[in-house]
Structures are given as structure tokens and as C-alpha cells.
Structure 1
Amino acid sequence: MTSTMLEAFFHGYTQRATEDVLTVVAVKSVLDDMIADIETWIHETERNALTTELEKANAALAQYAIAERIHWDEKQNVLQTVHLLQLQGRTLVRKLKTEAELVAQDVLNKARLEKELAESKEKIASYATLSRELSRSQREVRELHRRLGIQNVLNPSAIQEKAGPPPNHDPTSTPTGLASLSDATLLNIFSNVDAMDVLAMSLTSKAWKSRIHVMFGLKKEKLQRRTALPPTIPKPLNVKPSLRPVPALDKSQLARADDMIKSFNAKEMKFFHDLMIRMKTLEKHLTALQAEKEDLAARLQGAENVRDFLMEKLTDVEDALALAIEDKVPQPVFRRTGRPDLACVPRRWRTRNPTWIAKSWLTSMPSRKTPTKFFSST
């Protein structure tokens, strides 16, 4: 009976143990199913969240690509503008060099003309004394001839007695110097001088006076009548005491003046005339060059101002371009949540490296322990 009771006890205990084990196995299988369902739900939730974030990232990438294309077009426009500005700057530099060369040439020409003008003025100043002496001599000759004419009218017999040579002998009538030239040559010489100079030359001697009057169409008969009338006129009563015979000093001055006038030839007279014409031409040319120099200086100043303005604009554009094309590899900036901040990454770099963004996003996610490992560890 005791063994029967023991067997019944062991049999009941075994049945209860088996039921307990089956209960534990059933509970474990139910828990495993629940854990699997929970893991599946977590994975689906994470997958849906990642899919949503990926769609947002793709949309942002598309927008960034459009913005990058716009930026690229703007960059190309800026490069074309810079190229055009460089071409314009080179053209302006060439124009400035050409104008500077022209101004330098004009300055050299002006310096040369000023030097020639100074030399001409020096020559004119050196000939001024001679011209004044010649004018003074001509005036003295005219005064002496006037006095001799008056004395011939007042007392022709006394003059003839005092005169050594015969009355028909005139020392100035001998062909010497310019008087020995032909009429055509004298007319060519007179074409280069003024009328007052020709008149002054005609007053130097009777021979010149009669010859110039004949050359220029004056009637000789009237001159002979005028010279023949004075002896028939009676002696005037109101003779001034100042009209005395010509002293020896006046005769020496007359001879000196005649020698000086005879010493000048046609080349010297033409040289004086050409020198005056050249001086006037040089003065006109110098005035025109000064006006042109002022105009060129104003144009050069304006061109330099334009060049400075273009160089400033070119420098600004180059600085902007250098900042625009600066390409540096960015470092990912993480938020407090542990994920990278895409706003701190340059747009151009994000469009070129989309895999880096996804990788940094996935690697930055924190690791989660699954409930299976948790239950297995327990």
C-alpha cells in the first residue's frame, strides 16, 4: 500500500510537473511571439520614419540641385562679365599707352619748337641792333639828302664851286652793290620786302630814286620838271638860319650809311624776311600745340579716371568670384539629437556627395538593444 501510494504520489507529482513545464513552454512561446511582433513593429516604424526622412532628403536635394544650377548660371555670367571687363581694360590700357605716346611725341615736338623759337628770338635779338642801326642810318641819309636838296635850291652856284668833281659826276650813280643788278633781279628782291622798305631804299640816293621810279611806272618827265623848277624860283626871303652847309661829320655819316646799305645783298634781305615769316609761323604752331596739349591732357585724365574705376570694379568682381568658387570639404555638424545638421553643409558639396549624407545620418543613429537579447539575458 505504501508503494502504491508512493507511485500515485509520484505519478501525480509528475503530471503536475509536466503540466507546469507545458505551461512554461506555452508562456515562453507566447512571449516569443509577442517579442517578435514587437520587434517587427519597431523595425517597421523605424523603416517608415527613415523612408519619410529619405523622401524629405531627396526633395531637399532636388531643391538644392535647382539652386546649384541657378548659382552655376550666375557664376558663368559673372565669369563672362569678368572676361569682358578684362578685354575692355586691356583695350583701355592700349588706348592709354597710345595716347601717352602721342602726348610724349607732342611734348617732344613742343620742346623742339620752343627751342627753335628761342634760337629764332636770339637771332632776331642779335639782328635787332643791326636793324636799328640801319634805320638810323636811313633816317640820317634822308635828312642829309633833304638838307643837300635845300642847299642846292638856295645856293646852287656856291655848292658847284666847292664841289671838287664835275657836276655831272655822282658817286652814288656808279653801279655798285645792288645797283649793278638787273631790273628782273631787283623786282624779285623787292617782292620779298615791304613797300616802306622799298621807299626807304629809294631815298638813299638819286640813282636809286630814279631807277625805282622808272621800274614801278612813274613818269620821268615829271621828275625832271620837278628837279628843273627849283633853280628858276627866286631866293626866298624867310630862310631859316638852321639851314647851313652840310658839315664834314654829316658827310662821313652819309658815306657810312651808304657803305652799310651797299654791304647788304639780296640774300641777307631775303633772310630777314624769311626769318620773320618763320617766327610768325612758329608762334602760330606753338599756340596750336599748346591748345592740343591741354586737350590731350584732359582726355588723358578722363581715361585714367575710367581706368581706375574699371580696376576697382574688376577687383570687386575677382574677390566675389574667389569667395564663390572657394571649395572646402566641410565637417559634419551634429545637433543635440546626435544627427548631422545639413544646413551647415554647403549646398554645392551636398549635391555632389549624397552618399556621405546618408552614411553620416545612419552611423549617427544610437544603437538599440532588442528585447530578445534582454529576455535572453534574464
Structure 2
Amino acid sequence: MSQTNKSLEALFKPFKSEKLTLANRTVMAPMTRGFSPEGIPGEDVADYYRRRAENGVGLIVTEGTGINHPASVSGARIPLFHGDASLDGWKQVVKDVHQAGGKIVPQLWHVGMTRKKGELPNADALPVGPSGLSLSGEKVTEPMTESEVMAMVEAYAQAAADAKRLGFDGIELHGAHGYLIDQFFWGNTNKRTDRYGGDLVGRTQFAVEVIEACRREVGPDFPIIFRFSQWKMNDFKAKLAETPDELHRFLQPIVEAGVDIFHCSTRRFWEAEFEGSDLNLAGWTKKLTGKPVISVGSVGLDGEFTSFEGANTASLDGLIEKLENEEFDMVAIGRSLLMDPEWVRKVREGRLNDLLPFNKEALQKLY
């Protein structure tokens, strides 16, 4: 990677909001790893996160962790966020990260209808979603009943309460990429006619109730981060909002429910979200809501993550320029940090030529 000409100062300014203070603007993006047998994160997982904290990551967002529902995750090695053994594992993760001077939030997750019938860890549990439809619109199961939806809200709330009890620095709710919360947002997967369906605003009701229930459990001062995206795993061109006005109408109920920070997931951070403006999704979200935002998407690399092929390092100039312009407040780094726990330290020390390209073999190991 060629040496950048821009000062990196903007990336290493402290961040301070009403509920969260960070040493710098770097965030470890949540990335599913699958190294937690029976859903229990062990010492190797704790060490993995600790190494990022030791090397100066401002905020760690854990990989997606399954809330207390039998169909919350796909795979027996995906970490859970319920049960004594799994929670004890996460307690050790928090302890290690804090001892290394870092801050960490769990990403609370339910995969919804992306889960296939028969998948572990609970092969008998059917996938659930607002209308029982896969991301491609095919009927797989029956729609969730209202009582099932309300029970799911409480499962998120319990996870939030556990996160606070374990000493985490906040929570992130995964509302992106076509997983459960996003399936309620998206018209292709939500055909409900009750209070959880309807138009773009009506389809935010499930998320609103999840956020409000989490806030009830954690109190007014505990940070709630909300991750959302336009794109889905099966449709990179999908959009919940076609215009800034639609995005504003979509975001407003979520803001009012109690979100503190938005994590705006895009595949390439430099791409404009709407015609007529250079702002990306995070930039528009900050402009429309006034809330702090995290941007993400192929930071420091020249290839987008969805292929998970190799990628070479790339200049940080464009990223720094957007940070200097205060288009967003924090930057989530994914594959670069997956490969290299020292990425933040190297950037801070100006050792840009020491940054490592991404190798897909990193997916098979906890560096």
C-alpha cells in the first residue's frame, strides 16, 4: 500500500457521546467466526478479542450471538448469548478486553428465515420470520403469531439485561442483511396486516418494541447501537428507502424508541447512497437523525467482503477525508482486523506498508 498523504489524526481523536467514550474512532466490525463449540466462547475466543483491545481498537463489536430462541442461529459453533456456560464464556471475554484497556459490546442476533430446516444447534426448531417467507419470497413456515413476536421481543430484552450484568459497555442489535429484524423491515419478507406490518413505518414496529424492551432492561445510560442496511445477503441492490425522505421516515421511529448510535452497513463505504449527494448511508443517517453513526465497508481493502476472496490493502485517504468532514463519527473495520490484530496500532504508528492483505484462509483461524 502506498503511503498516505493525509494526516490520520481524524481516526485517532477520542469519541465522546452522552453514553459512550472511546479512545479513538476505530470499531471492530462484527464478523461471524464459528469457533464456539456448543455455542460457548472459550479461551481462544477471549484471546482473539483481547488481542484487538491490546492493539488499540476503540470499540469491539462481537460476532453475532444468538438470543434465547431455539432457531436464533445456524450452526452448532455459533456463540449463544443465553445459558450459564455461554454467558460465563462471554463474561471472561469482557474481563480480558477490559484488562487490555478496550471496550466491547455484544451483537444480539436472530437469523430468522435465513436458517434452513434441520440446521444445528436445534435441528427440530423451524425457522421463524414475520411471514414465514425466505428472502426470495418462498413460503417455508407459518407466520409468527403475535404472541410469538412478543416473546421474541422479550428474548432480546433478556439478552440486553444479561449484557449489562456481565459488564459489557453497551449492546448492538443486528437489524441488517436480511436477518430477523430486517425481515420485518423489508416488504419482500413482511406481508403482515397486523401492527407489525403495513408500510415502511409500520414495518419498523417490531424493531421499535425490541429497542424499547431493551431500554427498559438496561436503563437510560446504557448505549444501544442499532445496525441496519439497505442490502440483503441475497440481494445487494435491495433498498428499504429509495430516497432521503423515505430513509428519514424509516429511521424516525427507531430514534424515538431509544437508539443511541446507528451502525450503517454498506459493502463499500465510499459509495454515495442517493443521487445528488456524496453522502453514504452513514452520512445520510447522521444528517437526518443527528445521532452518532458508524460507517463500514471494505475499509483499507480493494475488494468487497461479500466474495470473501483475497483483497489487497488500499489507501485510507478517502476514509480520512470523510471523517474530517464529519460525515460519520466512527469507522468499523472488518476483514483487515480479522487478518491482523495489530491493524489499528500499525495505522496509528504510520506503518502503513506493514498492513497485511486479506487472505480468505483467515476465516479458518483466530488470528
* Structure index of larger Rg: 1
Q: TM-score, normalised by structure 2?
A: 0.17
Greater RCO between the two (CA within 8 Å, min separation 6)? 1
Q: TM-score, normalised by structure 1?
A: 0.16
Q: Which protein has the bigger strand share?
A: 2
